[in-house]
Structure 1
């Protein structure tokens, strides 16, 4: 049974909004280029960033509503933060790498919250971008000594570490992340049987 099944999009700007976004993006990239360690290729349009955070908030609000409804109690207080960080990393990767920062390109986010076969509450978050994709096996390991000082490359590691399950499509432009929880009543029944 699906409790929530929602779709959002961000980016995909056109007309005056696209012109404004491109102008602001170029100004910000020039500003960042002047910084000693500036990475203008990692700058996101303020309009798209605002859309991204609005979608992220919708995802988190949906998570919170289901969490409250089912009395989900997670023993790890960092779970919310980790879910939030993993989703933000996926969104930013889609904008920066998939859409290559182009505010006219659309990123689609699907959220499904349901009971899985093991009867656990499952949050499934899918982020799809219009890019050509990538092969995640060729991404350098950010934990290797040579990569510790590199300022990028940790997003996939965080996503893989913080979610229970992560799948990437063969094209490399869609990531599916899952996090599972027990409802409070079920959790109490399990604890009492121990």
Structure 2
């Protein structure tokens, strides 16, 4: 990855802008999230929705490591976190994978998908966050709350 994801929040109301890199292995996710959440919580960036942010971040990072990095520690996931007094919290996660079409993901709440052990992450992110969009051909997710 030549460049890091951009958090669009800029200006005088910006409280926090944090860029972090996660190695592409699943075991690295919990301490990575813990570090981000400590900062987010201490600054009050999540508008009382810290648990929602933590779960959405876990799902986005898990998808990035599993599908984008193929659990290869030599590959990296880039994460940008920005907090703005008036616009809330924005988290951008980018992986080095081939991307995907979010519309092609089957609903986890229909038919046999209800019994699948996987496939709920994107659904959960969409339920937990106020705004979600995908860029860079599905290799980058932008999640906003507040």
Give 5+ residue unaligned stretches, structure 2. 1-12
Tell me whether 1:57 sits opposite 2:38 in the alignment.
no
How far, CA to CA, are the matches of 2:47 and 2:22 in structure 1?
Answer: 31
Greater RCO (CA < 8 Å, at least 6 residues apart): 2
1:9-158 matches, cutoff 5 A: 9-11=21-23, 45=25, 49-50=27-28, 52-67=29-44, 74=48, 79-115=49-85, 119-120=86-87, 122-158=88-124
CA positional deviation for 1:57 = 1.3
Superposition misfits of 4+ residues, deviation over 4 angstroms: none
TM-score where L is the length of structure 1: 0.64
Please say which structure displays the higher CA radius of gyration.
1
Q: Which deviations, in whole Å up to 9, do the C-alpha atoms of 1:61-91 show, x marking residues without a partner?
A: 1211111xx8x864xxxx3222111110001
Give 5+ residue unaligned stretches, structure 1. 13-44, 181-194
How far, CA to CA, are the matches of 1:170 and 1:164 in structure 2?
Answer: 20
TM-score where L is the length of structure 2: 0.84
CA positional deviation for 1:153 = 0.4
How far, CA to CA, are the matches of 1:64 and 1:138 in structure 2?
Answer: 34
Query: SS where residue 7 of structure 1 aligns?
Result: strand
User: Going by fraction, where is strand more abundant, 1 or 2?
Assistant: 2
